[in-house]
Amino acid sequence: MMTSTRRILPLLIVLALSACQDKNDNKVSDLPSFDEENKSIAAAVAEKKPLPPPCSLVSLADAQVVIAQPMVLMSNEKELCAYQSAGQAGDFTSLMINLSDNEDEAMAIEVFRAIAGQSGKLNKMVNDQIGEKTKKSGQSLEGLGDEARLNASNTGMVGNNSLVVRKGSVVLNLSIIGMSSDPAAPARLEALARKIVVAL
């Protein structure tokens, strides 16, 4: 009896191990292969085309139309384009165009909300220092990207108009900062944003 148990025990162990191996094989085959996962990641990356540099979307002539004065190029970077007025130092006005592609739409929504609320906080901080009240207004714009917010403010000495647009995972931020405030500037800024968004 002892001899038959010794013979049967190893056989049972081998059978039990093979049954476990069959179950594990089934579990592994249910999972996507490493190659399949890499292919889907590569496809997602391939679908996302790189953004053009902002200065390729906003020419010097465009900047001069928006600001309504002669401008010069101040910065031409991968995500930032900046123009400044060519006039007198006391009448300094700049146009900044920032274009960023976020990892996904959820991140873009967070970035959009942070930027859209930032200009009011900055103006309040400046005015608290000089004892002025910030005159500001803001509005959401329909039909411009997935969401858009135009903010206009004047801190007494400095006027600031900013327009933030989100289109999918891309956030476009246009800002006019100047020593004077032009009441027609927000409409020109919106026209420029509409031109840029079509190209994205």
Domains of the chain, by residue range, sit at: 2-47, 54-199
The more confidently predicted of residues 179 and 185 is: 185
Indicate the average pLDDT of the chain.
Answer: 78
| pLDDT tens per residue across span 120-143 | 455 555 556 655 555 556 788 999
Residues facing 176 on adjacent strands: 95, 161
Residues facing 82 on adjacent strands: 75, 96
Q: Which of 6-15, 118-127, 141-150, 177-186 has the highest mean pLDDT?
A: 141-150
Mean pLDDT of 11-35: 53
Q: Specify the CATH number of the domain 54-199.
A: 3.40.1000
Judged against a pLDDT cut of 90, whether residue 110 lies above it is answered with yes
pTM of the entire structure?
A: 0.68
Reading the block at residue 93, the tokens are 């006005």
Judged against a pLDDT cut of 90, whether residue 198 lies above it is answered with yes
Judged against a pLDDT cut of 50, whether residue 28 lies above it is answered with no
Q: How far apart are CA 117 and CA 104, in angstroms?
A: 20
pLDDT category, 24, cuts 50, 70, 90? very low
Q: How far apart are CA 97 and CA 59, in angstroms?
A: 11
